[in-house]
Structure 1
Amino acid sequence: MIATLIRATAFVCLGLSVTAHADTAPSSKMGSSKIDSSTVVAGTGDTSCPPGTTRAQRQHAYDALSRQLQVWDDAYYRQGERLVEDGVYDQAKRRWQHWRQCLDPTIAPPPQPTPASARDELTHPFAQTGLDKLPDRQAVRHWLARQSDQTLWIQPKVDGVAVTLVYRKGQLETAISRGDGVKGQDWTRQVSRIESIPRHLTTDEPVTLQGELYLRLPNHVQARDGGVSARSQVAGLLNRQTLSESAARKIGFFAWAWPDGPWKGAERLRQLTQLGFADTANYTRTVTRLSEVAQWRDHWYHARLPFASDGIVIKRSERPSGDRWQAEPPSWAMAWKYPAAQTLAVVEAIDVSVGRTGRLTPVARLDPVQLDDREVSSVSLGSLANWQTLDVRPGDQVSLSLAGATIPRVEQVVIPATPREPLELPDVDRYDALSCLTLTPGCREQFLARLTWLGSEEGLDMDGIGPASWAALVDAGLVDDLLAWRQLSADQLQQLPGVDEVRARHWIHAFQAANARSRTQWFVALGMPPIPEAVRDKALEAPLATLRERTTAGWQAFAGIGAIRGAQLVAFFHDATIDAWLSSLPASSADDTDG
C-alpha cells in the first residue's frame, strides 16, 4: 500500500493534460500517419474526453502536441536528425490521432503532412505512401481480419532513408529522396555511386522502384544492437556534396515497392531478383494468421540481418495500380514496430511511498503505456533529489526507457503540462529509521513496511504471514505497535474476513515460533541497522546493557562499521520504544547475563 503524501492529479485526455487545481513505401520513422476510423489507435479504442475539461482546453492541448510533432518532423525530414526515439514519436503520434478524435469523434483524423523542403524539386512518378504503425497485437488482429482472403506478405521494416529509383530504357535516370511523398530532392549523383544499386537493367521497360537506402551492418541483431543511428548515418552520407567510394560501399538498397511492375506479387519478386534486387525476395514471407506474424516479428528482431530494422511490414501481395497511390498510408499495408526501447507516457499523479527505514520514494502514476511489450502504469522516480532533477510534475509527458532491459525509468520531460503546477516536495524530516514504530497518524505505510520486514525471512520468519495479513490486522485495529501480535488469540483472528479456525491456528503457531527466535534475529526484525556478517556475532554477543552503553567509537572498533553506521546503532539501542521491546524479549531470546 502506498500512502499518498503528494497527489497533484491532472485530467488526462488521451495523453494530454489539463491540470485541475504488400508493396508499399514504409514511411520514415516519423512519417505521416493516418489511422482508419475502425483502427484501435491507442490500444483501447476509446475516443472519449475526460470530464472537467473545456473544448478550449482540449484544443489548446491538441495544438501544443501538433507543434511538437512538427518540430520533430522538420528535424527528421529536413536535417536528417532524430530528436526523439522512435517509440516516443510513435506514441506521440498515436496520442495526436486519439486527441483529434476526442475533439471530433465523427470524423477520421486527417494525416499530419510530412514537411516539405525548398530543395524538394523533383516529382515522384508515383507517390510514396508511408505506413500506419499499429500499436499492439489487438490492432494488428483487427487489420488482418479486414483483409479477407488476400495473400499477405511480411517483411522486415528496414531502418534507412526512403528513395525512388527511376529507370528508363534500362538506365538509372533519376534518384529522388522521399521528401513529402509527392516531391523530393535530386539524389541522382550520390545514388549513382552506390555499387549495390545497378546503373543498368536488363530491360527496356520503364521501372520505378521505391525502397530504403540502408547502412550495411553485417550480422546486426536489432534486439542486441538497437538502431545504432543507422538512418542518420545514411542521411548524413547522402547530404554530402560528394559521396566517396568508401562511403558508397557502406550503403545497401532494399526495394519494397514497384508501382509500375507486375500486378501479381510472386511475379514481382521473381523479376526483382532477376533485375539485381534479391533482398526483397530473400526477406519476404507469406503469412495468414496473427501467430505467424508474431513469430516472424520475433524472429527478425533477434536474427542476424545485414541492416537495422525497426519492425515488420505486412502487405497484400497484390495492390492497386501505382497511379492510384497517394502520399498517405494505404489500407493495404501496415507496420508493427518492434518492442519500443522508449515510449511517451503521461504522468497522472505523483505518490510518495515511505519505506521501512523512512526512505521517501516518489512514484509517478502513468496513463498505462506499452514498453517492450509490457504495460507500464507506474515508475519510480528514485530519490527526492532525482525527482527534483527530472522536475516531473502531474500532466507532464515523459519519455520512458528500460534500465537494464527490465526496470522502467523516466528519461526526461518531453512535453511539459500547461499550465504547470509548482513542484512541492514532502517534509524529509518527517520520517527516519526510528519513526512510525507504532501506528500514529501519517504512519500507516511505514508501519506496515516495518511489520512486513519483521515477519519476513530476514526477520522472525513467520510462515504464511505477509503484507496482506499485516494490513488486515492493522485495519481491524488488532495491531498498533510492532509487538501487539504477541497478545492476539485465535478467537480474535477468526473475526477477520477470510480467516477460519485452521488459518487462525496457523497464524498463532507462527507467532509462537517467532517468540523463540534468537536475540540477534529480534534485533534485525525490529530494525537494527545492518552489521557486516563477519563481525555481527562478535559485535552483538555482549549483554544488552553493554549494547545500550556502547558509543559510536565503540561500534567503530568492529571491522566494516564506520562513523555513520556506528551513530545509527547508538540511536537504535538508545530509542525508548526499542529499549522497552528489547527488555520484553522472551526468555529464550535473552542472554544469561542480562538482568
Structure 2
Amino acid sequence: MMRLLYALLLIALPYGVWAEGCPDEARSQVGILAEQINQWDDGYHRLGQSPVSDELYDQARQRLTHWRQCFPESTVASDTPLASSRGTLPHPVAHTGLEKLLDEQAVGTWLGTRQDVWIQPKVDGVAVSLVYRHGRLSQVISRGDGAVGHDWSASARKIPGIVQQLPAPLDLVLQGELYWRLDDHVQSVSGGINARSKVAGLMNRKQLSDTDAAGIGLFVWAWPEGPAGFSERLATLARWGFSDSRRYSQPIQNITEATHWRAYWYNHPLPFASDGVVLHQAQRAPAGRWQVSAPYWAVAWKYPLGKALALVRDVQFNIGRTGRITPMLELEPVRLDDRQISRVSAGSLKRWQSLDIRPGDQVSISLAGQVIPRLDEVILRSTTRAELPVPNPGKFHALSCWQLDPGCEEQLLARLTWLSGNQGLALPHIGRETWNVLIQAGLIAGFLDWLTLDAAELANIDGFGDRSRARVLESLHSARQRPFAQWLKALGVPPAARNNLEGDWQTLVARDTQAWLAIDGIGPGRAAQLSAFFRDPHVQAMAETLRVAGIDGF
C-alpha cells in the first residue's frame, strides 16, 4: 500500500507494535523527526521521489506517532502526511485500511472467530480505484486519503496490465494495487527494493512512456459490490482478465495454514514485491458502509523487517587485543527478523568518523547473513552533537597495553581473554568475566600477574565459592604445562608467522628483519611485525618472567 495508507492506519495499530519505551532523548527529537517526515512526504507524493526506503519510512512514521504519545507537550501541531497527495476526485467506495497483527498468536486469535477466510500476498505497490462504466474503464483514481484521490486515468489507459474493456457492459468498482513487475522476486532475499516508490513516481508523472507502462501490473484485492462468495469473486475476476487475484489467493482454516502461506510467499519467487500477507473474511460490510479505517473483515500480517530504524542511545569505543578501536552503537532495542537488537558495530573508527554518529541519531540496521547486526546508514541526525571520549588511535597498537596503565583496561582485558581462549592456552573455566573479576579485585595489573596467584588471594574475592576458586586455580596452574608453540600464540605473535616459527625463544629473538625476510613465505610487512614483536622491551620482559617460571622454550 502507499505511504499515505500507512499514515492513516497508525492510530489503529496496537501499542505493542513499536518495541521501544519512551526514551528521554526522544523528547527533543519529536519536532525534528516530524519535519523530516514532512519533507519525505512532499518528495514522495508531489515529486514521486523517495530518498528513504519504504520500509524505513513506515517505521519512522510509526515512531513519530509513538513519541507523540510519549511527549504530547512536544507536539506543536499535527502534521498532515497526505496534504500533498489528497487529490480532488472522490472514490465511489472508500478505501479501508488494514490493522497489522503483531504475531502468530494474534493471527490465530483473529482466525478463531471467523469462517471462510482467504489469504493473499500483501502486494507492495500503490492502491487505486478502477471505475468501469458500461464495461469500459472510465476512471482510475489514486488512493489519496482514502476518500478522494488524483485522476490517474490517462496513464492507466496505457498500462497493458489493466483490463480496459470488460466482456459485459457492467458498471462496477474494483480496488487493487499497481505494482512494478519483477522477475522471480524472492522477498526474503531481495527485500522491497523500493518497488512501491518506483510505481508511485511513474504514475505521478505527466506522461507515462510505453516502456514504463508495460512494467506495471495490477493486483485486484477488492470488488466491493461483487458476489458474496470469495471464490466466485476470484473466478469472475479471472474470466475478465484479472488473473493475479485467483493465482495468489488461498483458502485457509487455521493458523498453521496461514503460517505456511506467509512463509511460502516470503521465500519463493513472485512477480512483485510484497511486505506480508492479507487475510480476508469473505463476509464483509456492504460497500456503502466502507470507511477510511481498518475494517473487521481483513487484517495484515507483515513479514519480518529487513531493515530496522534504530535510535542511538550511546557510542562506546571497544579496544581490542591488537589495539584496533571499534565503535559500538548502543541502541534503543528494536526487533529485526524476530530478534531484539540493542547494539551494533560501526566497523572501524575511520568509518564512524566519516558517518559522525552521535547519541540521538537514527540509523538503519540490517542482518548480515541473517545473523549479525550490520550498520547500513544514518537516516536522521540529532541537532545536538554530543561530545564523546574518542580514544586516540596513536596510543593503541599491537604492542601497547601489557600493563594496566590509564586507558589500557579494554586492551589488557582483550589480551587476557585471547590468552585463555581456544586460540591461546585453552584454559578451562577462564573467560573474559573471570579476568575482569580478577582485575577489579586488584590481583592483576599486568599480563602475567596471574601466574603467581594462590588460593589465599582468591579466597578474598566476593562471589567465588570454594569450588569456583579450586577450578580457576587449577586452570591457571595448568598453563605451565602448555607447549612453547601454544604460548607464542597466547602472547600474540603476528598471526601470519605462526606456522613458520622454529626454535626456542632465544633463537627467535636473535633474528632481525633481514633474517625473517630470508624465510620462505615471509614478506617485508610480516618481517617487520615479527622483528618488532620479539624486540619489544615489554615482550622481552614477559619472556624472562616465563623463563623464570619454568615454561618450556623460554
Fold shared by both chains (TM-score > 0.5): yes
Q: In 1, Cα distance between the equivalents of 2:107 and 2:94? A: 23
| Distance 1:349-1:245 versus aligned 2 partners, 3 A rule | closer
| Distance 1:38-1:217 versus aligned 2 partners, 3 A rule | closer
| Distance 1:247-1:389 versus aligned 2 partners, 3 A rule | closer
Q: How does 1:448-527 map to 2 (within 5 A)?
A: 448-490=413-455, 492-493=457-458, 496=461, 499-527=464-492
- What is residue 363 of structure 2 aligned with on the other side? 398
- What is residue 114 of structure 2 aligned with on the other side? 150
- What is residue 8 of structure 2 aligned with on the other side? 33
Query: Which protein has greater RCO, CA pairs closer than 8 Å, 6+ apart?
Result: 1
Partner-residue secondary structure (3-state), 1:377: strand
Give 4+ residue runs of structure 1 displaced > 6 Å after superposition. none
Amino acid corresponding to residue 150 of structure 1 in structure 2:
R
| Distance 1:401-1:30 versus aligned 2 partners, 3 A rule | farther
The gaps in structure 1 that reach 5 residues or longer are 1-25
- What is residue 91 of structure 2 aligned with on the other side? 124
Work out whether 1:417 is the aligned partner of 2:385: no
Q: How does 1:140-539 map to 2 (within 5 A)?
A: 141-142=105-106, 145=109, 149-151=113-115, 152-235=117-200, 237-239=202-204, 247-287=212-252, 290=255, 292-330=257-295, 332-422=297-387, 425-490=390-455, 492-493=457-458, 496=461, 499-537=464-502
Partner-residue secondary structure (3-state), 2:393: coil
| Distance 1:334-1:83 versus aligned 2 partners, 3 A rule | farther
| Distance 1:246-1:575 versus aligned 2 partners, 3 A rule | closer
- What is residue 22 of structure 1 aligned with on the other side? none
Q: In 2, Cα distance between the equivalents of 1:37 and 1:167? A: 32
Amino acid corresponding to residue 114 of structure 2 in structure 1:
Q
Q: In 2, Cα distance between the equivalents of 1:247 and 1:88? A: 26
Deviates more, 1:485-494 or 1:202-211: 485-494
| Distance 1:526-1:295 versus aligned 2 partners, 3 A rule | same
Instruction: Please report how far the alpha carbon of residue 165 of structure 1 lies from its aligned counterpart in structure 2 after TM superposition.
Output: 0.8
Say if 2:118 and 2:282, in contact at 8 Å, map to a contact too.
yes
Deviates more, 1:84-93 or 1:327-336: 327-336
Q: In 1, Cα distance between the equivalents of 2:543 and 2:385? A: 50
Q: In 2, Cα distance between the equivalents of 1:571 and 1:32? A: 61
Instruction: Please report how far the alpha carbon of residue 302 of structure 1 lies from its aligned counterpart in structure 2 after TM superposition.
Output: 0.5
- Residue deviations 1:245-297 (CA, integer Å, cap 9, x gap): 65544332111112232355454334433443232233223446555444332
Match of 1:547 among 501, 508, 528: 508
Partner-residue secondary structure (3-state), 1:174: strand
Q: In 2, Cα distance between the equivalents of 1:156 and 1:276? A: 19
Work out whether 1:91 is the aligned partner of 2:52: no
Instruction: Please report how far the alpha carbon of residue 387 of structure 1 lies from its aligned counterpart in structure 2 after TM superposition.
Output: 0.7
Partner-residue secondary structure (3-state), 1:585: helix
Partner-residue secondary structure (3-state), 1:367: strand
Q: In 2, Cα distance between the equivalents of 1:294 and 1:311? A: 11
Say if 1:398 and 1:412, in contact at 8 Å, map to a contact too.
yes
Q: In 1, Cα distance between the equivalents of 2:401 and 2:432? A: 17
The gaps in structure 2 that reach 5 residues or longer are none
Amino acid corresponding to residue 179 of structure 1 in structure 2:
G
- What is residue 36 of structure 2 aligned with on the other side? 68
- TM-score, normalization by structure 1: 0.82
Instruction: Please report how far the alpha carbon of residue 453 of structure 1 lies from its aligned counterpart in structure 2 after TM superposition.
Output: 0.9
Instruction: Please report how far the alpha carbon of residue 381 of structure 1 lies from its aligned counterpart in structure 2 after TM superposition.
Output: 1.0
Partner-residue secondary structure (3-state), 2:546: coil
Amino acid corresponding to residue 55 of structure 2 in structure 1:
G
- Residue deviations 1:364-391 (CA, integer Å, cap 9, x gap): 1000112233221111111211111011
| Distance 1:247-1:527 versus aligned 2 partners, 3 A rule | closer
Say if 2:159 and 2:216, in contact at 8 Å, map to a contact too.
yes
Say if 1:518 and 1:588, in contact at 8 Å, map to a contact too.
no
Work out whether 1:103 is the aligned partner of 2:71: yes
- What is residue 557 of structure 1 aligned with on the other side? 518
Q: In 2, Cα distance between the equivalents of 1:529 and 1:438? A: 19
